[in-house]
Amino acid sequence: MKLKLTLAAILAATAFGAQAQTQPVKIKVAHFLASVSNLQRDVLEPWCETLRKESADRLQCELYPAMQIGGAPSQLVGHVRDGIADVVWTSPSYTPNLFPAMEAIELPFVVPADGLGGSRAMWEYYEQHARKDFERYKVLALHSGSGQNLNTVKAPVQTLADMKGVKLRSPSRVSSRLLSALGAAPVNMPASAITESVSRGVADGALAPWELVTAIKLDEIARFHTEPPAGKPAYFAVSMALLMNKKKYDSLPADLKAVVDRNSGLALVEKFGQSWDRATEASRKRAASLGNTLVVQKAEDYEAMRKAAAGVEAEWIKEVKSKGLDGAALISAAREISNKNLGRAD
């Protein structure tokens, strides 16, 4: 009888262990955009499907768009660090004190304006100069949110003089400094508040990328859109990151880690960049169909703005020196990497 009971216990334990191994690993993925956004439909959903297929259903995503996970976009890095979410997509610029080195490539007139070139540049810069910023996270991808354009209600911005006193939405402290240097009045607000604020006159327009302009229907209110000359760096661009909780990643068996690793890094970065470029093209076409005015700035007016913003770099270099960073060297590296990726079409 004792032998039978012992054998039964062993069999039960073995069966339980086998069942535990075959139970799917749920990955909670959170972001702040809508479920219909190009981010979720074009990148995250296909990425999750690839993880599921390559893991034979053992890795399964649970998507939490539009901050359904709770809190504000600026709290997403804390959510993934603390395990409230397993993976998040957010911008490091929302919590600048945590990612000081990464800011160098987000400075004005540095990164390529397109999604693919900008994303490649940001990933290379991260790998070479900003890994320490993200040592508490498993970095799956880091890409550009595309160049931010000047979207205004009453009149197009074409020259430096046109910027004077114009109230424009700003997404970060660096972009606020840029707008101030150009004579505008920055109004800090999250993406979700832009359309209502502009419609109520709280702001005269917004610094925002094409992808966002369409997503929040800003193009139905702000009818003028100004972009840099072709082949020139963006006025400003934010980095976007897909981050994973380190403990969650470390808890995965080796074969599932391999699935995650195969589907992260540069290849995923390029998928983000390509998606943003497709969204940009679609947004331009939509704005034109609405009868909006699309302005490509003249080279001399662009250079005047670039010159006026030079002090933003000097201020940043002084600021990060107290954090032990050589700001001038980081900017030089960011610009060298970005110039290499300007105008690349492959």
Phi and psi for 294 in degrees, rounded to 5? -105, 120
pLDDT at 237: 94
23-145+238-278 belongs to which homologous superfamily? Bacterial extracellular solute-binding protein, family 7 (3.40.190.170)
CA nearest 144: which of 258, 246, 276? 276
Tell me the domain boundaries of the chain.
23-145+238-278, 149-236+280-341
pLDDT at 13: 43
Residue-wise pLDDT tens digits, 246-289: 999 999 999 999 999 999 999 999 999 999 999 999 999 999 99
Which pLDDT band holds residue 18 (cuts at 50, 70, 90)? very low
- Rounded Cα distance between 157 and 221, Å, is 15
pLDDT at 3: 54
| pLDDT, the chain, mean | 93
pTM score, whole prediction: 0.90
pLDDT at 97: 86
For 149-236+280-341, give the CATH class: alpha beta
pLDDT at 192: 80
pLDDT at 101: 97
Which pLDDT band holds residue 190 (cuts at 50, 70, 90)? confident
- Counting other chains too, the contacts that 125-131 makes at CB distance below 8 Å and 24 or more residues apart are 125/333, 125/334, 125/337, 125/338, 126/102, 126/239, 128/333, 128/337, 129/101, 129/104, 129/330, 129/333, 129/334, 130/99, 130/101, 130/102
pLDDT at 2 over 70: no
Domains 23-145+238-278 and 149-236+280-341 share a fold: yes
